[in-house]
Amino acid sequence: MRSARLRPELEVETTRPPQRLAPHAYALEAAVVDGEDDLADGRLVLLHDPAGHDAWQGAFRLVTLVRAELEPEMAADPLLPEVCWSWLTGALDARGLSYGEAGGTVTRAGSHYFGAL
C-alpha cells in the first residue's frame, strides 16, 4: 500500500487503526484537494485475522469511509444511495478485483438553518 502511485490531488497519510477488530490492522486517511478546497475525505482500514471470520468470508476485511459535500439537488436525489454504491462496485469490477461479502451504508446528512447565526 505504501508503494502505490496516487493521483496528484490526493493527500494520504497513515493513521492509527482500530485496535480490537482484528489482530492486524493498517489504516490510511486521505483527502481530495483542489488548491485550498477540500473536495472529499475518507479513511481506509485493512483488517487481517489469520484465523479468518465467517462474516468476512476470509481472513481480510477492507473498510472504507468517504465524505463529500454535495450540491443540494444531488443530495436530495432519491437514487443517490444506489448511485454511490454503484460507483464503488463499478470501480472494483472495472479493475477486475474480486470481493466476497460486499456490504455498506450510504448516509446523507443535511442541515436546515433558521434565523441569523
Query: Does pLDDT of 1 surpass 80?
Result: no
Q: Is the pLDDT of residue 79 over 90?
A: yes
What b-and-e string marks burial along 54-85, b requiring 16 or more CB atoms within 10 Å of the CB? eebeeebbeeeeeeeeeeeeeeeeeeeeeebe
Q: What is the pTM of this model?
A: 0.78
Residues 25-68: tens digit of each pLDDT: 999 999 999 888 889 999 999 999 999 988 888 999 999 999 99
The whole-number average pLDDT for the span 11-28 is: 94
Share of the chain above pLDDT 90, in %: 57
**What pLDDT does 21 receive?**
92
Confidence of residue 102 (pLDDT cuts 50, 70, 90): confident
Radius of gyration of the chain measured on its C-alpha atoms: 17
Mean pLDDT of the chain: 90
